[in-house]
């Protein structure tokens, strides 16, 4: 598709009223740590975005501000995408105890990965309880708290981190749950009793049967049984500035089916976030045409909100070892010289804080103990039913500190879901 043809279907520019509203909010003291832009071209009308830049961990306290950005790419209808957009954030926040929310930023960030998992599971369970709803959705959910970025995702809507100074892709913050590309997910689905094959003799992507979905994780999809799970891949990173800004590109598969990570980064290089998303979407449509809903959110995290990279620190040496294969794939030099070269070329460096993509939910731990004589109430991570310790609550053997917890019935479902044994039909 040419740029001339594309211009005919391009949406109208941002209205004056929207721009004025942004100005007024900033004048009222709603300070933003990030700059962003969004763009979407519609084919089926099943993509939905969520942007909240003025969230407060402690209500009314601007010092506890954080931002949320998300893309939901629905299939078999829009209901799951709309439901997730409206409920996922609240479900995540409800999973963090109030004493942790109000205690400290570090405690809140430490609890966030586990809360994201529980929030995804609760959103899925609640949606599936709505009678007659069979649609599903991907979900890529990004929380930006100053220099800390936490991403949870199911499906194939991707989030990447781009270095605005060097122009390259620093980190891929999500994992695609496409059966065609993800061997581990194929093995899990087959082990749990599902069948993975192409639709017919004409080929096409690998799909799980029954159902025929090409993804292994999503929210919704009640008609596809236990093979499709809502447990997200979660990654939390800290950005360290070396004179550049961190840029997040969050997009649905309409973008990633047309552009590689590097192409998406190059399409908006040197352009302000407010206009960058439009360029990424245009580049995707020019490359492949408008074959699917194509949505993108670009978020810039300014360098003045990031800790400064300490070149001589132990952390820097560790980070450089992670970046070295990316920056110098064909060169071998001394460690000292390579470190100096690497840090001079990149504007932002990533320190990995947490990453977990397994469907084994116990790995998303928390740091409070379980006392069987305690009066504390625990919620089952799957069905969300409150129970007391010892009353049907299940936890990993010899791991009293591991959470979340499961009631007896959900423990059985979880074992099947993780592929430990075949599905048994009654």
pLDDT tens across 303-359, in order? 776 777 665 544 444 444 444 443 334 333 333 333 333 444 556 778 888 888 877
Region of residue 424 (phi > 0: left; psi between -120 and 50: alpha; otherwise: beta): beta
Instruction: Give the Cα separation of 82 and 78 in Å (integer).
Output: 6
Domain that holds residue 402: 365-417
Domain presence at residue 112: yes
Three-state secondary structure call for residue 314: helix
pTM metric for this prediction? 0.75
- In a shared domain, residues 371 and 335: no
pLDDT of 395 above 60: no
From 359, 387, 408, give the residue that closes a domain.
Answer: 359
Count of domains for the chain: 2
pLDDT value, residue 284: 96
- In a shared domain, residues 302 and 397: no
- In a shared domain, residues 327 and 285: yes
Poorest-pLDDT segment among 183-187, 290-294, 393-397? 393-397
- In a shared domain, residues 225 and 278: yes
Q: What is the CATH number of the domain that holds 132?
A: 3.60.40.10
Domain presence at residue 184: no
pLDDT value, residue 16: 54
Domain presence at residue 338: yes
Domain presence at residue 203: no
The chain-wide mean pLDDT, for the chain, equals 77
Cis peptide before 298 (omega within 30 of 0): no
Higher pLDDT, 219 or 338: 219
- In a shared domain, residues 273 and 372: no
> Strands 65-75 and 47-56, how do they pair?
antiparallel
Q: What is the largest CA-CA distance in the chain?
A: 71
- In a shared domain, residues 266 and 389: no
Give the count of beta carbons closer than 10 Å to the beta carbon of residue 397.
Answer: 7
Instruction: Give the Cα separation of 241 and 345 in Å (integer).
Output: 12
Would you give the DSSP letter of residue 130?
A: S
What interhelical angle do 335-345 and 314-327 show, nearest 10?
80
Domain presence at residue 422: no
- CB contact set of 349 (below 8 Å; sequence gap of 6+): 170, 239, 240, 242, 309, 316, 319, 323, 343
Three-state secondary structure call for residue 288: helix
């Amino acid at each position: 598709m040419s740029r001339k043809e594309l211009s005919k279907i391009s949406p109208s520019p941002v209205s004056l009223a929207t721009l004025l509203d942004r100005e007024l909010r900033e004048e009222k003291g709603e300070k933003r740590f990030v700059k962003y832009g969004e763009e979407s071209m519609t084919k089926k009308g099943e993509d939905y975005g969520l942007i909240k830049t003025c969230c407060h961990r402690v209500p009314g306290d601007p010092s506890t501000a954080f931002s949320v950005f998300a893309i939901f790419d629905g299939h078999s209808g829009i209901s799951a995408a709309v439901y997730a957009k409206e409920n996922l954030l609240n479900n995540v926040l409800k999973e963090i105890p109030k004493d942790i929310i109000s205690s400290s930023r570090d405690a809140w960030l430490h609890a966030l990965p586990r809360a994201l998992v529980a929030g995804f599971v609760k959103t899925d369970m609640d949606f599936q309880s709505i009678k007659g709803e069979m649609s599903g959705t991907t979900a890529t959910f990004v929380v930006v708290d100053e220099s800390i970025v936490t991403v949870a995702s199911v499906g194939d809507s991707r989030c990447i981190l781009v270095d605005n100074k060097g122009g390259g892709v620093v980190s891929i913050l999500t994992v695609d749950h496409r059966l065609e590309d993800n061997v581990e997910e194929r093995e899990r689905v087959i082990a749990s009793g599902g069948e993975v094959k192409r639709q017919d003799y004409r080929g096409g992507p690998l799909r799980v049967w029954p159902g025929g979905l090409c993804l292994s994780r999503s929210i919704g999809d009640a008609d596809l049984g236990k093979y499709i799970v809502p447990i997200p891949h979660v990654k939390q990173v800290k950005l360290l500035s070396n004179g550049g800004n961190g840029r997040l590109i969050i997009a649905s598969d309409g973008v990633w089916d047309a552009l590689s990570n590097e192409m998406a980064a190059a399409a908006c290089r040197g352009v302000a976030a407010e206009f960058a998303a439009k360029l990424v979407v245009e580049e995707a449509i020019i490359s492949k045409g408008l074959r699917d809903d194509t949505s993108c959110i670009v978020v810039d995290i300014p360098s003045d909100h990031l800790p400064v990279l300490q070149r001589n620190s132990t952390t820097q040496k560790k980070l450089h070892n992670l970046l070295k294969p990316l920056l110098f794939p064909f060169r071998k030099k001394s460690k000292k010289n390579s470190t100096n070269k690497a840090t001079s070329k990149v504007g932002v460096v990533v320190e990995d804080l947490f990453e977990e993509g397994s469907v084994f939910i116990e790995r998303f731990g928390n740091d409070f103990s379980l006392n069987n004589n305690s009066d504390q109430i625990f919620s089952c991570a799957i069905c969300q039913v409150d129970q007391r310790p010892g009353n049907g609550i299940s936890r990993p053997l010899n791991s009293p500190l591991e959470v979340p917890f499961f009631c007896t019935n959900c423990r059985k479902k979880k074992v099947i879901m993780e592929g430990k044994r075949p599905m048994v039909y009654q």
